Amino acid sequence: MQRATYCRRSPRKGHNLEVGIRSVCAVSDPLFVPYLPLSAIALTPSAARTLQPLVAAGATLWVPPALMPLPDARPYEEPFGAWLAAQWLQQRAFVFAMATGAVVRAIAPLLSNKSSDPPVVVVDRAGQFALGLCGSHAGGGNRLTRLVANYLGAVPVLTDAAADADLPSVDVLGVPFGWHRGNGNWTAVSAAGARSEPIRVWQSAGSHLWREQLPDDHPFVFATDAATAPLAPEAAGKPIAELWIDAVEREFPPETAAVQWHPRVLWIGIGCERGTPQALLESALARVLAERGLTAEAIAGVATLDLKADEPGLRSFCRDRDLPLQVFAPEVLQAVPVPNPSEVVAEAVGTPSVAEAAALQAAGDGAELLVPKQIERGEGGAATIAIAQAVYEFTGRSGRLYLVGIGPGATAQVTPAARAALQQADVLVGYARYLDCVAPLRRPGQIVEPYPIGAELERARRAIALAEWGLTVAVVSSGDAGIYGIGGVVMEELRQLGWDGREPAVEIFPGITALQSAAARVGTPLMHDFCAISLSDLLTPWSAIAARLEAAASADFVTALYNPQSRDRKRPFAAACEIFMRYRDPETPVAIVRNALRKDERVYRTQLDRLEDAPVDMVCTVIIGNRSTQFYGDWMLTPRGYLGFGADENTPADD
Ligand code: SAH
């Protein structure tokens, strides 16, 4: 199992019972968070109306001052060009509802390069189409385009080559893992991929997860050895595109179609004298990297002894390079086997190695010491540097867990929000059958991890491990994830792990639960108070289930039975029928809905005294009516009040 090798934040203990604490975080749609701050710009009132829903998602809606006041909108400053130029530097993404030509002219002077430009989406005034204009790949623009389209009910229009192939595009495949893009001719290699020409891949660092979901006709040729890598016969003899994935600093001749990704696998162990200046650390690192041919782009972070945590030179070194600093106690470092221990160091700080031991410790299980300690002396101090390569890269990203209910099964029943969550995720984890149900909704290049039925805990643990590592993981449940669903298993497991409630972030996307689907197939049986009872006694003692059945039956709740009966578990269902018979009329209407809203759906109507012999299995939901429920033709109806039973005739119902 891939596990994060970096430290999780220590769990915050205690509970936060402040009312509204979550709603403070929920002012924007969670799926938009990676794209905020986001400017939505409209020039006409109708265009502003089209973009207005994005305000609820967290966007700021800008309109010409002359259009004010408009609901939810703010006036931009004239002149537009200068205002946009300033926004360009501050915003993560842009959505325009303007003529495409006008957008192109407005942003043309601001574009600098494909990997740093913010994503720009153009929506037509009527909100029918959302076009990914630029920043589409590297900036996550394809995902934003799908998200905006989903939100506005528009069709996403993606025009780059990777969008229509079921392939991760070469220039984004490392993004989920936090890899850095290195030098190379990205345009040429991407073009080769788009033309389905072979791309030879050398990967000696970083995750292989991106390789596991490739379609059969993918263009990658994996080389374990440059000389022996197999090549498609038609490509033999021709120069082919190259993709290198490692920690090596490489310059390619400009005419070659070659690129490199750098997974962040290098942990730099540093020991230094008190007061050693940042400049000396910089020159020491530069020298060591250059001597070994390693790239700074592959650095995961810096590790040292806890005594050095407040060294100003070291701290500013990490801050300027945006690198995490991991510190370890001498007792921890002492236990790490290293090639070059020193008695002098042991005497001074309580561990025979700082640089080598800290690098290895931070890099985690299976790490390799690439560079044994090197000493650099200079003005104002001295530093020791060692470099270890980790098996699992540091992603540098905050992971997210989306608990997604997909409803009963048909894609038409998946809510737009759940759809969007599935598309935004890096990884989908779930029972294989449910993942198949949502296969048409997937985004090319997503990692999909199907599981057999029953492996709930395993699924939950895997999803959590991937999210702790920094990935956005959608855990897919049928119906609603929090109703007898995998969502609850994930939350319980997080609690077991001492989760701080924030990292990884959890978002829950409700789905249509089985009792709603089943009810909708037979009528309106849930119009009065109802309850759900699961008959599975796997984790719940039968005595508790029986007590609930008694209570529901005696209190006249309309009752939906989940997990009613399996081949090996028949007793609870027979007992449930017997309990209800004691409290209800034998002619009480009962509906059995098998595979509701799936292609092999079956609906049976019966009455309570015949229920025990009815065809009921684990893909059925059973709805037992209350004492005023009736069949009307094929329909099962529960009145909204207890008319004729002495209750208030004016019981209101929501419409
Ligand atoms: N999280 C799911 C419930 C999972 S428990 C939800 O919210 O719907 C599994 C039980 O749900 C099954 O044994 C069955 O009783 C019921 N169920 C799930 N999908 C169903 C469907 N399409 N039709 C009928 N019952 C269903």
Q: Which residues contact 500 (CB under 8 A, 6 or more apart)?
A: 9, 10, 11, 12
Pocket test for ligand 1, best of 406, 477, 484 (most atoms within 8 A of CB): 484
Nearest CA to ligand 1 atom 2: 479
Q: Which amino acid is at 154?
A: A
Nearest residue by C-alpha to atom 3 in ligand 1? 484
Closest ligand 1 atom to Cα of 562: 15
Residue 440 confidence (pLDDT): 84
Positions of the chain with pLDDT lower than 70, given as ranges: 1-27, 136-139, 161-166, 224-239, 643-655
Residue 611 · residue 579 · CB < 8 Å: no
Q: Which of 459, 567, 621 to mutate to test the pocket of ligand 1 (most atoms within 8 A of CB)?
A: 621
- The burial class, CB within 10 Å (0-12 / 13-18 / 19+), for 155 is exposed
Give me the pLDDT at residue 26, please: 47
CA 616 to chain centre: 37
Identify which of 619, 618, 620 has the alpha carbon closest to the alpha carbon of residue 605.
620
Protein residue whose Cα sits closest to atom 9 of ligand 1: 563
Residue 621, beta-bridge partner list: 593
Separation of alpha carbons 36 and 151, rounded Å: 15
pTM of the model: 0.84
Q: Separation of 178 CA from ligand 1 center, angstroms? A: 37
Distance CA 113, CA 509 (A): 35
Residue 219: its pLDDT value, please?
85
Q: How far is the CA of 140 from the centre of ligand 1 (A)?
A: 35
pLDDT score of 191: 85
List beta partners, residue 230: none
* Domains of the chain in sequence order: 25-159 (3.40.50.11220), 175-262 (no CATH), 266-389 (3.30.420.180), 400-512 (3.40.1010.10), 515-637 (3.30.950.10)
What distance in angstroms lies between residue 513's CA and the mean position of ligand 1's atoms?
A: 7
Q: How far is the CA of 400 from the centre of ligand 1 (A)?
A: 26
Are 113 and 179 spatial neighbours (Cβ–Cβ below 8 Å)? no
The angle subtended at Cα 388 by Cα 385 and Cα 389, nearest 5°, is: 145
Q: Which residues sit with their C-beta closer than 6 Å to ligand 1?
A: 408-409, 477-480, 483-485, 513-514, 517-518, 562-564, 593, 595-596, 598, 618-621
DSSP 351-384: SS-SHHHHHHHHH-TT-EEEEEEEEEEETTEEEE
C-alpha of residue 619 to centroid of ligand 1, in Å: 6
CA 582 to chain centre: 49
Residue 91, pLDDT score: 94
- C-alpha distances (whole Å) from 550 to each of 543, 547, 555, 578, 618 are 11, 5, 8, 10, 22
- C-beta separation of 527 from 638 below 8 A: yes
Mutate to test the pocket of ligand 1, among 616, 619, 622 (most ligand atoms within 8 A of CB): 619
In a 13 Å sphere around the CA of 550, the CA atoms on its Cβ side amount to 6
Give the β-pairing of 180-184 and 258-262: antiparallel
Measured distance CA(596)–CA(516) in Å, rounded:
9
